[in-house]
Chains A and B, each alone.
Chain A
Amino acid sequence: MSSVSASFMASVARLLAIANKELIQMRRDRMTFAMMLGVPLMQLMLFGYAINTDPKHLPTAVITEEQSPVVRSILSALEHSDYYQLRYSLTDHAEGERLLAEGKVSFVVTIPSGFTHQLIKGERPQLLIEADASDPSASSNAVNRAQTMIDSALRHELKGGLAELSAQASPVELIVHRRYNPEGLTQYNIVPGLLGVIITMTMVMITGMAMTREVEQGTLENLLAMPAKPLEVMIGKICPYIAVGAVQTCIILLAAHYLFAVPFIGSMTLLISAVALFIVANLALGFTFSTIAKSQMQAMQLTFFFFLPSLLLSGFMFPFRGMPVWAQYLGEVLPLTHFLRIVRGVMLKGAQLNTVKFELLAITAFILVVGLVAVSRYKRTLD
């Protein structure tokens, strides 16, 4: 018994020695260190502010099938709101379709013929806005304000005998087609998602590189020649990066709260536990990559090989349920998919442990499988 615990203490001592060495190396490697803290900040600012700002002067095409003072005043109201910049005036729907597809315009506003006539008769004519919602955050404010702008323009126009028309709910039925992204994700979805994306990217890459660096610099031979067991090396190398992940998490959560005003209605404890589990999953994967890659370059390539599907298939970029079934199966394998559900669920919907327990289990299973692969592949020799 005492010999078992003595050997355990010895293991812990060696593990701590390795963790300490890793910390020193991390601190000295300015570039990597800057990347570990700089990348999350940069991504947060780029992604976060791109969504959070209130983009204006978005290029717009107008298809007016009739001309009338009312129509003109609606259009000038849109223009004066600063959200829409009327660039094209078209007669052809196909042309509008093409501009939208090419990204030349963000909106196509269609005012059908008979609009004015129906309006005056109080028949609530339809006004169609087709929005390019592939970047939903870009278009959402403009779309959300459209109704108000149109209403106030009409209130102006329909004075006197027609005033009662504008007193109704709205004299115009605004129809919005969100193209390319019917779910219309919002910033509330993206900032918590970024937490997962940033952790995935930095954690996998950094552990992968930390290990292959030992191979490249020849220090692995020395490490192997000294008495440290594979598991001690693995855990010792991973530990310092858990701390890095914790710092990143703090930065992102603070930014989510103070910069992007993302609501947080769930349990912080639950979130922290999920983050910890998720960090370990990514570190274990990075370590496994390092047992496959022969150089730091290869470790980097493997990281991207994993990172891109994570970005695309996890539900971060595109709505998960909107993907084909095979892609959903692939997505279920990725820890980021499950983490996104947890973090969005906990932060935005106040999800409890019971709701996310399967997601937590999925990440745990991932850790076990990947950890087993890592330990079995970790070489005790130089072969």
Chain B
Amino acid sequence: MSELAVDVHGLVKRFGNKIAVNGVDIQLPSGQVWGFLGPNGSGKTTTIRMICGLLNIDAGEGQCLGYDISRHARDIRRLTGYMTQKFSFWNELSIRENLDFVARLYQLPQRRQRVDNTLEKLGLSQRQKQLAGELSGGWKQRLALAAVTMHQPKLLLLDEPTAGVDPQARRDFWDEIHHLSRAGLTVLVSTHYMDEAERCDRIVYLAHGNLITQGTVAQIIADAKLFTYKAHDDGVRFAIEKLKAQPAVAHAAYFGAALHVSGYEQAALLAAIQTVTSNISWQQVDPSLEDVFIALMNKAGNDQRAYQ
């Protein structure tokens, strides 16, 4: 399927005189899973809300599932499942009552059956009478995902669905997303986790409301034209400030116990790290997605400062 589930151009959203989203284009083909990344406050949530008609757009236009986003929000909502960043089901309602309420609003046929199945799949049949507000954070997220997919939407908009979820549950969550995607669902999911980004077909990266880059993980890494060196030695800990001060070093960041140092010009970078830490052995590695994002974030940050 090559038609676009989301096709928006030049989306702009202002809050007062602050621009939250500044001309974002997204062309998301049906059936794909796209990751939406960017630092806090970069406009991910705002963009998602505009796509499903929860915020009026200030400029731009677009379609979602073939409906105009500013005029046919109701049709879009009927076919979309939107999982909010903050848990937004009703704490005073039990798990079952929440699901039942959603099923009633979407007027699903065989409601009882549907709710039963959903509870079964979630593994919450035993606890269905428990209040949603009493669930742990991770379970709330699972309940929310189940609730927003119950009406079998064509498009899933997930806003940081795995924040605060344990590693195993995160994997299960993503297995479920891929499972849904294989069944034809289109997914746009925002996240701060690199391993999750790597499981997406494509990535869209925002910073300060601007779309900085997009593409597959490999493309984005290649496009960044970054060189990265890695060292394990204990001595690097004392050298990190000096390394950062070098103009050729774009950034230095820890990955577990190892330090990664990245720059845009290989020769200058190598020269810099060898003068600062002559007795430490460095090893060139492929830049990881996170190296690239740190570099992008720094660049975007500089841009922002340059404008003011």
- Interface residues in chain A, defined as those with a beta carbon under 8 Å from any beta carbon in chain B: 10, 13-14, 16-18, 20-21, 24-25, 28-29, 217-219, 221-222, 224-228, 380-383
Binary contact track B96-138/A, C-beta < 8 Å → 1, others 0:
0100011011110000000000000000000000010000000
- Count residues of B near A (Cβ-Cβ below 8 Å): 29
Known: A21-B101, A219-B89. 15 other contacts (CB 8 A): A16-B104, A20-B104, A21-B90, A29-B92, A217-B88, A217-B91, A218-B87, A218-B88, A219-B90, A221-B54, A221-B88, A225-B77, A226-B106, A227-B78, A382-B49
Given the complex, which residues of B lie within 8 Å of A21, measured CB to CB? 90, 93, 97, 101
Q: Which chain B positions have C-beta within 8 A of A381?
A: 53-56, 73
Closest 6 CB pairs of A and B: A17-B104, A222-B88, A28-B92, A225-B82, A25-B92, A226-B105
B259 within 8 A of A: no
Contacts A227-B74, A381-B53, A383-B56 given; indicate if A222 touches B104 (C-beta within 8 A): no
Closest residue to B97 on the A side, CB-wise?
Answer: A24
Q: Which B residues between 64 and 83 are near A, CB-CB below 8 angstroms?
A: 73-74, 77-78, 80, 82
- Bound-state CA distance A221–B80 (Å) is 14
Q: In this assembly, does B182 line the interface, its C-beta being within 8 Å of a C-beta of chain A?
A: no
Q: Are B105 and A227 in contact (CB under 8 A)?
A: yes
The answer to whether B105 and A14 touch across the interface, beta carbons within 8 angstroms, is yes
- Can you sample 8 A-B contacts with CB below 8 Å? A28-B131, A218-B84, A221-B49, A222-B82, A227-B105, A380-B73, A381-B53, A381-B55
In contact, A25 and B93 (Cβ under 8 angstroms): yes
Given the contacts A225-B82, A227-B74, A382 and B54 also touching, CB distance less than 8 Å: yes
B292 interfacial contact with A, CB 8 Å: no
Which residues on the B side are within 8 Å of A225 (C-beta)? 52, 54, 77, 80, 82, 84
Q: Main SS of chain B's interface residues?
A: loop
Chain B neighbourhood of A383, CB < 8 A: 55-56
Q: Which of B12-49 contact A (CB under 8 A)?
A: 49
Task: Give Cα distance in the complex from A85 to B131, angstroms.
Answer: 60
Give the interface SS of chain A, mostly helix, strand, loop or mixed. Answer: helix
Query: Which of B91, B105, B131 touches A17 (beta carbons < 8 Å)?
Result: B105
In the complex, the answer to whether B93 meets A24 with C-beta atoms within 8 Å is: yes
Counting CB contacts under 8 A, is B171 at the interface? Answer: no
**A227 lies within 8 A of B77 (CB):** yes
Q: Which residues of B contact A (CB under 8 A)?
A: 49, 52-56, 73-74, 77-78, 80, 82, 84, 86-93, 97, 101-102, 104-107, 131
Docked complex Cα distance between A13 and B107 (Å): 8
Instruction: Specify the chain A residue showing the minimal Cβ separation from B105.
Output: A226
Q: Report how far A380 CA is from B107 CA in the complex, Å.
A: 20
Q: How far is the CA of A28 from the CA of B104 in the complex (A)?
A: 20
Residue from B53, B80, B84, B107 within 8 A of A222 (CB atoms): B84
Partner of A218, one of B80, B86, B131: B86
Residue of A nearest to B101 (CB): A21
Give complex CA distance A226, B91 in Å. 17
On chain A, the residues within 8 Å of B84 by CB distance are 218, 221-222, 225
Distance (whole angstroms) from the CB of A378 to the closest CB of chain B: 14
| B103: nearest chain-A partner, CB-CB | A17
Distance between Cα atoms of A29 and B102 in the complex (Å): 21
Bound complex: CA of A380 vs CA of B77, how far in Å? 12
Residues of B within 8 A of A382 (CB): 49, 54-55
B55 and A25: CB pair below 8 A?
Answer: no
Docked Cα-Cα span, A361 to B131, in Å, equals 44
- In the complex, what residues of B have CB within 8 A of residue A28's CB? 92-93, 131
Distance to closest chain B CB from A237 (angstroms)? 13
Task: Return B265 CB to nearest CB of chain A, in Å.
Answer: 45
Chain A contacts of B91 at CB under 8 A?
Answer: 217
Nearest CB of chain A from residue B267's CB, rounded to whole Å: 51
CB contact between B89 and one of A14, A18, A20, A222 (< 8 Å): that residue:
A222
Q: Which residues of B contact A219 (CB under 8 A)?
A: 88-90
C-alpha spacing A383/B80, complex, angstroms: 20
Q: Which residue of A lies closest to B104 (CB)?
A: A17
> Which B residues are in CB contact (< 8 Å) with A24?
92-93, 97
Interfacial chain A residues near B53, Cβ < 8 Å: 381
Interchain CA distance A225-B102 in the complex, whole Å: 11
Specify which of A14, A25, A29, A217 is in contact with B104 (CB 8 Å cutoff): A14
CA–CA, A18 to B104, complex, Å? 9
Q: Cα distance A29–B54 when bound, in Å?
A: 29
Q: Is the CB of B107 within 8 A of A14?
A: yes
- Closest residue on chain B to residue A232 by CB atoms: B105
What residues of chain A lie closer than 8 Å to B73, measured between beta carbons? Answer: 380-381
In the complex the two chains form, is A224's CB within 8 Å of B54's CB?
yes
A382 to B87, CA, bound (A): 16
Interchain nearest-CB distance for B229 vs A (Å): 45
**Interfacial chain B residues near A29, Cβ < 8 Å:** 92
Q: What separation, in Å, do the CA atoms of A224 and B97 have in the docked complex?
A: 18
- List residues of chain B with CB within 8 A of the CB of A20: 101, 104
Using Cβ atoms and an 8 Å threshold, which residues of chain B touch A217? 88, 91
Interface centre among A21, A25, A29, A380 (most CB of B within 10 A): A21
CA distance A226 to B78 in the complex (A): 7
Q: How far is the CA of A24 from the CA of B54 in the complex (A)?
A: 27
